[in-house]
Amino acid sequence: MALHRLSFRIRQTVIHARQYSVAVQSEVEPLAIFRTEEIDPACHTESHVGQYYTLPSAESRCLFIRGLARSYQQQMKTFNEACIMVRSPALEVISYLKNTDYSKPASRFLFYGPKGSGKTMSLCHTAHYCMRQGWLLLTVPDAHLWIKNCKELLPSSYNMSRFDQPVQATEWLRSFRNTSEPFLSKIKTKNRYVWTRREFTEEGSSLRELVDQGIRRFKSSTDVVGAVMKELRLQSGQPGSEFRLAVAVDGVNALWGRSTIKKLDKSPVDPEELSLVCNLRKLITDTWTGGAVITTLSQTGSVYTSKFDYLPQELLGETGFDNMDPFIPVLVTNYSQKEFESCHLYYMDRKWLQHPQSRTEEGKKELVFLSSRNASSFDRLYKMALFLPTPILLALFLTAEVTVSTGLTDCIARDFGHESVVCECNSTYCDSVGSLVLPPVGQYSTYLTSMAGSRLEPGQGQVQVNSSGTGLRLTINPNQKYQRIRGFGGAMTDAAAINILSLCAGAQDQLLRQYFSPEGIGYRVVRVPMGSCDFSTRLYTYADTPGDYNLDSFTLAPEDINMKIPLLQRAQVLSPQPLYLLASAWSAPAWMKTNSALIGKGSLNGKPGGKEHKTWAQYYIRFLEEYAKYNLTFWAVTTGNEPSAGQMTNYSFQALGFTPEEQRDWVALDLGPALHSWSHPQTHILILDDNRLLLPYWAKVVLSDIQAGRYIHGVAVHWYFDSFVPAEISLGVTHHLYPEYYLFGTEACAGWSGLDRGVKLGSWRRAEQYAHDILEDLNHYVVGWTDWNLAVDLTGGPNWVKNFVDSTIIVDAQHNIFYKQPTFYAMAHFSKFLWEGSQRVGVSSSEETQLEYSAFIRPDGSVVFIILNRTSSAIRFEVWDPIVGYIPSTAPARSVLTLVWNTH
């Protein structure tokens, strides 16, 4: 067997490498020079080992955007550059590729090593070499995702014994189109493909037509992936072929691992039954010529194996080993001392390592001790070391994270006479439900918040085989699928930053943890005003010098540099996932506007395409560039806060008026092209950013224009005056007219109305308003919901125009405490449980009910069911999930209830 033939050779390789690794670590090496100007991998030699090189932005976008190393993409955004360390394993494979005879069957290379040692980045370095040599690059990042957490599984239309995965297939085709753009028009198909009675791809069609067919037609996407791989396999290395093919697969062992995907009868799907896996297995054979297969082994891709296994025979198993044989194994070890020094210097250069103690020799020794020079451990440690001294890091790690991840703690309730209570927090104590762990299949968890005083109160129950006979039954329909969730969050206004920083350091940390840490409520979205808004203490923009069309005077304000940016950095460190930053501008500089003022009725001078409009678009770019210098990159920008306000005479605070026609033309002629040509063209543009009662008219004007529409990703809505227009007429119609654009809630707050203004500590009615509006939005295709200020003071400010409102957290700086409002917990019922990628599914009711509800299936297959009861009586009901059974429950009077359960 191949396993026995190669096991001795691999053992010798491992032994040799481990001896070499020990030898390297014992050497005393000079301080590494951590950067090299040589950006061509073909010119890298052993003298460059340990040095970082910077990929040109166009090449990094091609290689990483929707491509390899998805976890590395956050670092790219944070550092505003793509850098790869030159290491010996990649140089070894590049040397092989330089000397390979490509008339022979494709060589296969396998990077393997301990978890987190840098195998994926060695793969990226090698793939970049192939890209630079003009190869066609076919990448499969995170191959394990093809056998886990499948978003949609359909019977194959081509082979009834297999299953199609149209969501994964479509995602892969988009990635392939990105990395292979120069080749798509040149390569012609050798076969005719029939998709339906009316749709087919003729022999001789371009590969672009084939790829576009799969992206355009969801049900054909899996078959198109197979056709693309077949065409490349048949044409590579053949006479007249104009390309050399590099197949790069991260985590190739997943193709022979155990799947976690379940069939309808709950039996596991074998990877061999997945069409995508079968097609990829054919491509990584050595039955074709004119290229190479470069792969990694990933512990993540081997379900049910020990986390310490990393040898090929351990992770591939006998079947996978036999299928890969013959291959060239290349060991990737943890960093050498020289590589460690380079990594340390690089992080300091990018301002990622800021605490003075972390820069000392003693600090470096502790970091080495904590990470064992493992690349992945380094990354996690440096994120934490951004603000923590190394002795604290040491304490955290030696207590196995017990100090960081707290369990359930009770609310310190305070009653201020507004229906319910607030929970008081200080520098040493704050209530928390902790990190959530679901019970096994057959049981379910409940979390209750109520006017009576419960705050995310946990409970557990047993799923029943038979119905309880309760009159009201809510039935989950997992086959009725709607939108996927992006996330929830709040705004880091000047006022929010002032209030957070008015607390002592310990209380500041407690407050930020409540929102962003794993034991908090899972905020992922942070809206950031571009310049001043009403929740500032003064009027300002970033370019107040009249006539400065080149924006030479553009500079961030002290409010950004000293307050918002440091807090955003701290929030990102606390968050286990990258934050989605969203920028909104309230007003252009006064000299650009028709009324020469930041407030009141006024719009941009001139017309779209003119110098004021182009300067305003460049203002956005400069803002994004300045924040990027602090390792903060933005997921999206809006076209401006509430453009309708800028059309109102005597409007009392900052505003910039746009009609939908003006907004359409500004996006098409100025903002869209400016962002598209910038170094981060993937930044999303959201239109409207105003009340939803303006829909669907506003969307029809803007999105019906092809030139504007191609730059736009979504529609941003505010919650004010929501009761004036039914959600189905505004949100529902907009979605049905333009389903390719997502709907996103970007602002909401309580206490904004003149009849009910300011802070009300403990108001339960406002919590119900939040839960009702979120449920209504989610049930009408909205993918995220953003609260307004993350924190205000006891008066509802500061606000320079005294437009005081309420917030989910109220700061009492005088007593160095803060209060979590009932609205905080209303938000938590959504933000903590609905992970990114959770998909809304259908729910049917057996009878009329006053309960409001929505159900979602999370990426791991678990189900979240959220129920709001605004009545004064408890309501009994049962949930029927056809996959697991019956869940009996009761929604207490005036309560929000979240049910969660596993399905496998």
Tens of pLDDT along 132-179? 999 999 999 888 888 876 767 888 877 888 999 988 898 899 889 888
What's the pLDDT score for residue 377? Answer: 78
Residue with tokens 């500079």: 555
d(CA 603, CA 585): 13
Q: Is the pLDDT of residue 11 over 60?
A: no
501 token code pair = 């920083």
Going by pLDDT thresholds of 50, 70 and 90, the confidence category of residue 355 is low
Question: SS3 letters for 403-455?
Answer: CCCCCCECCCEEEEEEEEEEEEECCCCCCECCCCCCCCCCEEEEEEEECCCCC
Return d(Cα 502, Cα 466) in angstroms, integer: 56
Q: What is the pLDDT of residues 663-715, one digit of tens each?
A: 999 999 999 999 999 877 889 999 999 999 999 999 999 999 999 999 999 99
Task: With cut-offs at 50, 70 and 90, classify the pLDDT of residue 300.
Answer: confident
Angle at 428 between CA 569 and CA 827, to 5 degrees: 60
What's residue 19's pLDDT? 34
Could you tell me the pTM of the whole model? 0.62
740 is catalytic: no
Identify which of 723, 724, 727 has the alpha carbon closest to the alpha carbon of residue 735: 727
Above 50 in pLDDT, residue 277? yes
pLDDT over 60 at 636, yes or no: yes
Contact criterion met (CB below 8 Å) for 519 and 437: no
Could you tell me the pLDDT band of residue 353, with boundaries at 50, 70 and 90? Answer: low
User: Of the ranges 81-85, 304-308, 317-321, which one carries the lowest mean pLDDT score?
Assistant: 304-308
Q: What is the mean pLDDT of residues 837-849?
A: 97
Q: What is the pLDDT of residue 704?
A: 96
pLDDT digits (tens, 9 = 90+) for 863-893: 999 999 999 999 999 999 999 999 999 999 9
Is pLDDT of 27 > 50? no
> How confident is the prediction for the chain on average, in pLDDT?
89
Residue 617 CA, distance from chain mean position: 26
Beta bridge partners of 585: 530
What is the number of alpha carbons within 13 Å of residue 107 lying toward its C-beta? 16
d(CA 662, CA 364): 55
Exposure of 690 by Cβ count < 10 A (0-12 exposed, 13-18 middle, 19+ buried)?
Answer: buried
Q: Which helix (H) or strand (E) holds 716?
A: strand 714-718
Given pLDDT bands bounded at 50, 70 and 90, which one contains residue 369? confident
For residue 361, what pLDDT is reported? Answer: 80
* pLDDT 10s digits, 531-587: 999 999 999 999 999 999 999 999 999 999 999 999 999 999 999 999 999 999 999
User: pLDDT-based confidence at 67, cuts 50/70/90?
Assistant: low
From 341, 519, 559, 747, the catalytic residue: 747
370-387 average pLDDT score: 69
Which residue among 339, 457, 519, 642 is the active-site one? 642
Catalytic residue list contains 642: yes
Please write the tens of the pLDDT for every residue from 588-605: 999 999 999 999 999 999
Which long-range contacts (C-beta less than 8 Å, at least 24 apart) are formed by 679-683? 679/57, 679/80, 680/77, 680/624, 680/628, 680/633, 681/61, 682/61, 682/65, 683/624, 683/634, 683/635, 683/636, 683/637
Rounded CA gap, 41 and 741, in Å? 39
pLDDT at 5: 35
What Rg value do the Cα atoms of the chain yield, rounded?
28
Least reliable range by pLDDT among 44-58, 335-349, 542-556: 335-349
Q: How many CA atoms lie within 13 A of 600 on its CB side?
A: 9
Give the pLDDT mean for 832-850.
97
Q: For residue 405, is pLDDT > 50?
A: no
Angle at 105 between CA 111 and CA 143, to 5 degrees: 40
State the distance between the two ends of the chain, measured CA to CA, in whole angstroms: 36
- Beta-carbon contacts of residue 58 (< 8 Å; ≥ 6 apart): none
**Overall average pLDDT of the 827-851 stretch:** 97
Of the chain, the percentage scoring pLDDT greater than 90 comes to: 71
Instruction: Specify the length of the chain in residues.
Output: 904
Those residues with Cβ within 8 angstroms of residue 285's Cβ, 6 or more apart along the chain or in another chain:
323
